[in-house]
Structure 1
Amino acid sequence: MVNFDAYDIGNHRMSCPACGRGPRDKTLGVTIEADGAGVAHCFRCAFTESYRPERGAHLTTPSKPRIKAAPPTAKHDTLSNYGRELWKDCKPLSGVALDYLAARRCRIPPADGDLRYNVSLKHPTGYVGPALVALVTDAVTSEPLSLHRTWIRADGRKADVDPPRLLLGGHRKQGGVIRLWPDEAVTVGLGIAEGIESALSLAWAYVPVWACIDAGNLKALPRLPGIESLTIGADNDPAGIDAAHTCAQRWAADGCEVFMTKQAENDLNDVLKEAA
C-alpha cells in the first residue's frame, strides 16, 4: 500500500508497489488533496489506490494482468516460401564454390544433387559474400525442410564471419539430410557423414553420399527401404563416434551390411587435407 500520510499536499511521483523496478522507477503518480485525501495511479500497470483519512481506509484496484508475450513463431514443418525463393536464386556450383571444394580436397557432387552456390549471400551479421547453399530434405519423404548455408573463401577456408554455417531459423532440421547425390543414384548402397565436406571426402571412396548435418541427425537416421549397404564416415569425437555406432547397430540389426570409417583426425576431410 501507499503511505499517503508521508506526502504533503500536491502531486508526487514514486515507484509503483505493484510493478516498480527500483526507487528511480517513478511510474506511480500520487496526488494529495487539502483535506488529506489521496489517490495514486500507475501509468504503466494501472495499479490504483485511494485514501480517505476520515475513514482510515484504503481502496485498491489491482494492476491489470501483464500481457503475456506471444509464443515463439512455430517452426516450419516444410521449407518456407522465403527458403524456396532463396533456393531458386542459387546456381550450380561454379567459381569460388568449386575453388573452395577443390582446396578442401572434396569430390565435386553431380549437378542434380542438392548443393548449390550463391555468389552474394547476406549473413545475419550484415556480411555479404559467396556461400554454399544446401537443400535439407526429409530422409524418408524427400520433402524440403530447410537450407544449410556455408559462407566460404576460395582458399578452402570458411569466411571470417561468426558463425560461418547456418540453417534457416524456424525450420525443422530433425530427420533431414542433404542429398549430395540424388535419389536416382541411390540403389542398394549409400554413404553418409555428418558434414558436407566429410561426405564429399567419403565420396572419393564411395558414392552416392548424403550429409546428415550433425551427429544427432546421423544417429537418428531412419532405416531406408531398399538399401542393403550403408557406409558411415564417422567423425572421431565422442558425439560422432556415439552417433555412428548407434546408427550402425540399428541398421545392422535390420539386416543391412554396415561399414564405418576410422581415422586419427577428427573427420575424413581432415585426413584429405593432411595428406595433401
Structure 2
Amino acid sequence: MEQLQIGKIKMTWLNGGVTHLDGGAMFGVVPKPLWSKKYPPNDNNQIQLRTDPILVQVDGKNILIESGIGNGKLSDKQKRNFGVTEEAKLEQSLEQLGLTADDIDIILMTHMHFDHACGLTKWEGGRLVSAFPRAQIITSQIEWDEMRQPNIRSRNTYWKENWEPIAEQVVPFEKEKEIASGVKMVHTGGHSNGHSIIIMESGGEMAIHMADLLATHAHQNVLWVMAYDDYPMTSISEKQKWIPYAIEKQAWFTFYHDAHYRALKWDEHGNIIAHIKRVQDE
C-alpha cells in the first residue's frame, strides 16, 4: 500500500475496487487523440479508474476519504456497465494496518455518487447495514439533500441503498468544515452541486484532494472536465482557483480514481516534479 506523510498527517491508499468507464465521458468534449495520449484507453474505449479510499491518520484519529465501490453491492449487469473487474477489499487493507472497520472515526465524502458511496453500506443477514458503524460521515449539506432527493439526472447515481442505513451517522456542513488538525473540507460544486475538496496542511507541507474536479492526472488542463459533471463551468472555475493555488504552495495533489498516480506535484509549467506511482497489480 502506497503512503504519503506530510508533517503529522499520514495517508495510506486502500483497495476500494476498480472500474472502467468510457474515456469520452471522462474527458467530455476533449477529442480522443488528445486525451488518449495522456491516459490510454482499452479496446472498448474505456479507461481504468481506481476507487481507492485514502486512510488519513492524524490526532489519533482514523479518517477515510471516500468509501470505494463496496463488495457485493453491484449486480452483474452493473458490473458489466461500469467495467468493474475488482470489488473492494477494504477490510483486508485495514487488517494489514492492524485496523478494522470499527476503528474508523470519520469518513469524508467529497460527494456521494455510487462509485464513492457504495462502500458505506454492506449486506449482513439479508439486509443492508453500515459498513463503518462508529464513524461520523461528513459531506456538504447540498450533497446530502440531493442524495436523499435526487433529480431526474442524478437519481442514476444517488442510490437509497447507500444512504438509508447510514442516515443517522451523517454530519452535513455548510461552505467549509475543520475536520482535525490541518484537515478541512471546502464545498466547491461543479462535478455535483454539493461536491467538496479536502485540504491537508501540516509541518509546512500541503496536500489537496480535489476529488472528481481532478479525477486523474490527465485532467490537469482546467478545460478538461467530464461529461459527468453537472455544472462544468463551475468545475472549470474551481480548477482555475485551486490548481494554481496548490502549485504555488508546492502541494501534493492526491487521487482517488487515478490508476497510475497516487499523488504528484506539478511546477508552474505543468511538469511533474514529484510523484508516488501506484504499484501495479502482479
Question: Do they fold alike, i.e. is TM over 0.5?
Answer: no
Normalization by structure 1: what TM-score? 0.27
Normalization by structure 2: what TM-score? 0.26
Larger gyration radius, structure 1 or structure 2: 1
Comparing both chains, which one has the higher relative contact order based on Cα–Cα distances under 8 Å and sequence gaps of 6 or more? 2
